[in-house]
Amino acid sequence: MRPAKLEWAYEWLKTTKHLYINGKWTPGSSGKVIESVNPANGKVIGRFTGASKEDVDAAVRAARAAFESGEWHEMSRKERGRRLRMISDLIRQHQDELATLESLDNGKLYREAYMDDVQEAADIFEYYAGWTDKYYGEYNPVEGNFVSWTTRDPIGVCGQIVPWNFPIDMAAWKLSPALAMGNTVVLKPSSVTSLSAIRLFEIIHEAGILPPGVINLILGEGSVGTYISTHMDVDKVSFTGSTVVGKQLVHDSADSNLKPVTLELGGKSPNIIFADAPNLEGAIERSFYGLFTHKGEKCSAPTRLLVQRPVYEQVVEGIAKYANSYKLGDPFDPAIDQGPQVSQAHMERILRYIEIGKAEGARLVAGGYRDTEGSNAEGFFVRPTVFADVKNNMTIAQEEIFGPVLCVIPFDTEEEAVQIANDTIYGLAAGLWTNDVARAHRVAKRLNAGQVFVNRYGCYDFASPFGGFKQSGWGKEYAIHSLASYTKMKAIWIAH
């Protein structure tokens, strides 16, 4: 890991950043300027343009023209793959810069930004670069005197809206498969964390990798996302964010051109420790880090820990011990375990949930308050918080808190564990720990979640699909599944 580039970052942040439309940086037409805040100290670190509706129209027109010209999707597949690999290489070359901006803007640890977010962004461009010439249609075994086959064509102009918790990584999750399949893109990062996407677009622009209009960057708040989701000339929307906004996007699609929408939404994922867990200490450690890294701002975090009674107190004590020893502070300090929450508003939302948990009668065994020690006074720090004896019908067990707050829930039987685990509006991920292989199969099958992890919570690989059930979303990202969602399948018949 290379050291952070703070001096470089402060220099870069001196100029106001703009929108990227049709291969050019433009201040747009709204006159609106948005401030980036460093959540470790509440200070403004940079400024960027907020887009108007006309700017979004211009970006969509540019993406449409770039798509219709065919320059990108008719380019040889090998060459398109080579260009995506160049983007991957450039992200690695700029890994320290990008991770510095991510950490300054989002508050996550520099080492998390470097090793997780930016590393994965580079890796996923490389992964999808390899798919450009490997994804194709099928021969259909139809009856009669016909030949029938399917083709997989790019959809066209894709609107992509990403959240603030993994800003560059989520942008890369969406850009790389869309581009691999020959689409053009209008991307909107969260207004809370736009810096890393701006820098990524600069890097791609400077290297001249993509024809003008193939990728466009629109900055601004949620209303700017609405201009994309309601646009009559956007062919598809891919969204990662909250369930509330996800539902709105479905309405927007229905009220405009019925564009397909893929949704990666919230979660309240259960993590079940049975008394026969193979390595209880390991299960406790992993269950802790599964939630509390990236300051708990993770959609698939195991936020409901279900523990069988014989090991219940041991697990509660073990988790509380990790939480109480956690050091909060400057995300660039290697001795620190947890940075600030992403924004003041988000910190306040988490603290409100903590008060609700106390009022609902859950037993607080760690944290439960804002950390204002020493140099943390101006930042948005929340102590890792563990509630024991939580009942699954409490608000803190049902609603997504999206911060460093764990609910521990006791259970007696396997049946009860499955019932509690599935008693949620969400279905993103689930975990279970057991030494009984028959139980592992039985419970994994019954858990109503898009990913089930047995004896190791939180496994991610581009080869394995990611996406939730129920109100956690529609569709899958990663692997071949992302490619399917960025193509339209056509059946062609020829009579002979």
Give yes or no for residue 164 binding ligand NAP (CB under 6 A): yes
User: Which region, left, alpha or beta, applies to residue 165 given φ > 0 means left and ψ of -120 to 50 means alpha?
Assistant: alpha
Nearer to Mg ion, 350 or 366 (CB): 350
Considering only residues 354-413, where is the footprint of ligand NAP by CB under 6 A? 400, 402
- In angstroms, rounded to a whole number, what is the distance separating the alpha carbons of residues 290 and 284? 10
Tokens of 73: 């999707």
Minimum CB–partner distance for residue 383 and Mg ion (Å): 21
Q: Which of 178, 186, 192, 454 binds ligand NAP (CB under 6 A)?
A: 192
Nearer to ligand NAP, 45 or 86 (CB): 45
Minimum CB–partner distance for residue 83 and ligand NAP (Å): 26
Q: Strand, helix or coil at 54?
A: helix
- How big is the site for ligand NAP, counted in residues (CB under 6 A)? 29
What is the DSSP-derived secondary structure letter of residue 328?
A: B
Nearer to ligand NAP, 225 or 431 (CB): 225
Give yes or no for residue 165 binding ligand NAP (CB under 6 A): yes
C-beta nearest to Mg ion: residue: 105
Active site annotation includes 399: no
- In angstroms, rounded to a whole number, what is the distance separating the alpha carbons of residues 438 and 134? 37
Give yes or no for residue 163 binding ligand NAP (CB under 6 A): yes
Nearer to ligand NAP, 184 or 240 (CB): 240
Considering only residues 169-188, where is the footprint of ligand NAP by CB under 6 A? 188
Q: Which stretch binds ligand NAP (CB under 6 A): 126-134, 161-169, 317-325, 411-419?
A: 161-169
Partner whose footprint covers residue 105, from ligand NAP, Mg ion, none (CB < 5 to 8 Å by kind) = Mg ion
8 A C-beta contact, residue 126 and residue 141: no
Give yes or no for residue 230 binding ligand NAP (CB under 6 A): no
Q: DSSP for 100-137, please give it.
A: HHHHHHH---HHHIIIIIIHHHHHHHHHHHTTTTT---
Partner whose footprint covers residue 88, from Mg ion, ligand NAP, none (CB < 5 to 8 Å by kind) = none
Q: Sign of dihedral through CA atoms 176, 177, 180, 184?
A: negative
Partner whose footprint covers residue 264, from ligand NAP, Mg ion, none (CB < 5 to 8 Å by kind) = ligand NAP
Give yes or no for residue 161 binding ligand NAP (CB under 6 A): yes
| CA angle in degrees (0–180, nearest 5) for 458-463-183 | 115
Minimum CB–partner distance for residue 467 and ligand NAP (Å): 7
Minimum CB–partner distance for residue 327 and Mg ion (Å): 22
- In angstroms, rounded to a whole number, what is the distance separating the alpha carbons of residues 335 and 177? 37
Q: Sign of dihedral through CA atoms 20, 25, 26, 31?
A: positive
Residue 65 main-chain phi, psi, to 5 deg:
-65, -40
8 A C-beta contact, residue 475 and residue 450: no
Tokens of 185: 């893109």
Q: DSSP for 239-285, please give it.
A: EES-HHHHHHHHHHHHHTT---EEEE-----EEEE-TT-S-HHHHHH
Amino acid symbol at 271: N
Give yes or no for residue 196 binding ligand NAP (CB under 6 A): no
Amino acid symbol at 389: D
Active site annotation includes 313: no
Q: Which of 222, 278, 310, 334 binds ligand NAP (CB under 6 A)?
A: 222
Partner whose footprint covers residue 448, from Mg ion, ligand NAP, none (CB < 5 to 8 Å by kind) = none
Minimum CB–partner distance for residue 384 and ligand NAP (Å): 19
Partner whose footprint covers residue 221, from ligand NAP, Mg ion, none (CB < 5 to 8 Å by kind) = ligand NAP
Nearer to Mg ion, 98 or 430 (CB): 98
Q: Residue 254, Cβ neighbours under 10 Å: how many?
A: 11
Q: Which of 97, 112, 158, 299 is catalytic?
A: 299
Q: Which of 36, 95, 190, 392 binds ligand NAP (CB under 6 A)?
A: 190
228 Cβ partners below 8 Å, 6+ apart?
A: 56, 60, 159, 161, 186, 188, 218, 234, 237
Partner whose footprint covers residue 471, from ligand NAP, Mg ion, none (CB < 5 to 8 Å by kind) = none
Q: Which of 102, 112, 264, 477 is catalytic?
A: 264
- In angstroms, rounded to a whole number, what is the distance separating the alpha carbons of residues 324 and 289? 13
Q: Which of 57, 133, 221, 233 binds ligand NAP (CB under 6 A)?
A: 221
Cα separation values, 491 from 32, 131, 138, 314, 471, Å: 47, 22, 9, 59, 32
Considering only residues 275-334, where is the footprint of ligand NAP by CB under 6 A? 299
Give catalytic residue positions: 264, 299
- What does the binding site for ligand NAP look like in residue numbers (CB under 6 A)? 161-165, 188, 190-192, 221-222, 225-226, 229, 240-242, 245, 248, 264-267, 299, 400, 402, 428, 468, 473
